[in-house]
Structure 1
């Protein structure tokens, strides 16, 4: 199997897994729907420049942010933080499934790390 397909399958697994965990914990579906596209607000950086857009998009489209938020939520016993981290993780997983990857500062928006695989 080629790497691009593997990245997409990983995205599917992560996105479905995070969503399933969110639902199985009995969390608010309304909150899920309200938050699922929030990470895409980071695309507003492209209004300034490709470099700023890529940096802002990449900052919120890696698993680092939701991983840190989930850990902080668990350690500080802030359940909402863990729930938000699950939604954020589901968003990133769905992006990878559909071929949206991390951006390059010197390339078009659609030219991502997934296309380079």
Structure 2
């Protein structure tokens, strides 16, 4: 049951962040162009699982978009708010699919449980 709730939270974040993006009057082309950009953090795994998990988690924690949204609100800057919404939507999308924050033991070990082919046997 907790995994289902966490996935539903991800769905809610994805929907609400995308909805919030619509209020920024920022181009939907930017949304499309940046939606998967946090996944560039996968490159960190080229330096090993510890660095990979650190890079992935840095770009897949809601702390980053929350701070960026706060800055956007403080500066009354719609582009910052739009980017924060895109970033949060991506995180929600990943959580909805079951991709959680990574442990240094390997990419497939997440806070939402094991992912990948071996997940069923774990």
TM range (shorter): over 0.9
Residues 1:113 and 2:88 are matched in the alignment = no
Distance of 1:89 and 1:42 partners within structure 2: 15
* Distance (whole Å) between structure 2 residues aligned to residue 81 and residue 24 of structure 1: 12
Deviates more, 1:93-102 or 1:17-26: 17-26
When the two chains are superposed, the root-mean-square deviation of aligned CA atoms in Å is 1.1
TM-score, length-normalised on structure 1? 0.93
> Are the equivalent residues in 1 in contact too, given 2:36–2:90 (CA < 8 A)?
yes
Following superposition of structure 1 onto structure 2, how do residues 23-62 of structure 1 map, counting pairs within 5 Å?
Answer: 23-62=22-61
- Deviations, residues 66-108 of structure 1 (Å, cap 9, x unaligned): 00000001101221111000000000000000000000012x2
Query: TM-score by structure 2 length?
Result: 0.89
Which runs of 5 or more structure 1 residues have no equivalent in the other structure? none
Runs of 4+ in structure 1 over 6 Å off = none
8 A contact 2:26–2:78 mirrored in 1: no
- More strand as a share of residues: 2
Aligned residues: 114
Gaps of 5+ in 2: 115-122
Whole-Å separation in 2 of the counterparts to 1:84 and 1:110: 28
Deviations 1:18-63 (A, max 9, x none): 1112124443110000000010001100001000000000011010
Would you say 1:83 and 2:52 are equivalent positions? no
* Residues in 2 aligned to 1:54 and 1:25: alpha-carbon distance in whole angstroms: 31
